Amino acid sequence: MIDRKFRLPDSWLRSFQPLRDRWESLSLREKRLIGLLAAILSVYLFWFGIETVLMDPYRQFRSEEQSLRSDILTAQSLVQEIRQSQEEIRKRSLRLAQDQSGFSLISYLEQEANRTHIRSSITQMTPRALPPEENYHSILVSIRIEKVDLPHILVFLARLERSPHLIRITHLSIERRFDQHRLLDVHLDVQSIQSS
């Protein structure tokens, strides 16, 4: 086996000769300074390599992990909202089932008016059926209340809002009477929803 030593081409050696001569002419202090600069440059290049090879993928992984955590929190929030909606649907379904046993919106409104002592102030109560939607039908009752004071009408409205039945106030207008400023004229529409 022939042992061949690696040798740079002569043209390369001639190109490096001025640098070698310059290196030889430097003082010991200058050589140490250049060595120190070379060491600093090596450390920088080493750190840059670690940043490129290891840290950048790690940062990307961390970013993806944080994005995934955010998506998980959003999903958990949506699940909570869905559960609350399902619970609300369940409660309303129970109320609908209870109302199917002969609930009358007019009777209920008269009962609440008696309880809040404004029955004598009701001058008009007009029911009308609304077009059905899917498996539900709806009744709207327009009520005109005259010469009622604010505390009584507020109690009446609060009782309607807290009703165990599926009713809602769809329109409300309140006007102060021109002849008696402490009394009010009120017009409201109340709608009930029931299963067909």
Q: Rounded to an integer, what distance in angstroms lies between the CA atom of residue 20 and that of residue 35?
A: 15
Q: Mind giving me the DSSP string for 15-76? A: HHHHHHHHHHHS-HHHHHHHHHHHHHHHHHHHHHHHIIIIIHHHHHHHHHHHHHHHHHHHHH
**Is-contact 194 135, C-beta < 8 A?**
no
Give the chain's residues under pLDDT 50.
Answer: 1
Q: Where are the domains of the chain?
A: 8-99, 105-195
- Superfamily for domain range 105-195: Ribosomal protein S6/Translation elongation factor EF1B (3.30.70.60)
Q: Residue 49 has what pLDDT?
A: 76
Query: Which SS3 state, helix, strand or coil, does residue 191 take?
Result: strand
Core vs surface per residue 116-138: b (16+ CB within 10 A) or e: bebeebbeebeeeeeeeeeeeeb
Do residues 185 and 173 touch, judged by C-beta distance below 8 A?
no
Report the predicted TM-score, pTM, of the whole model to 2 decimal places.
0.50
Q: What is the pLDDT of residues 135-187, one digit of tens each?
A: 677 889 999 999 999 999 999 999 998 888 888 899 999 999 888 888 899 99
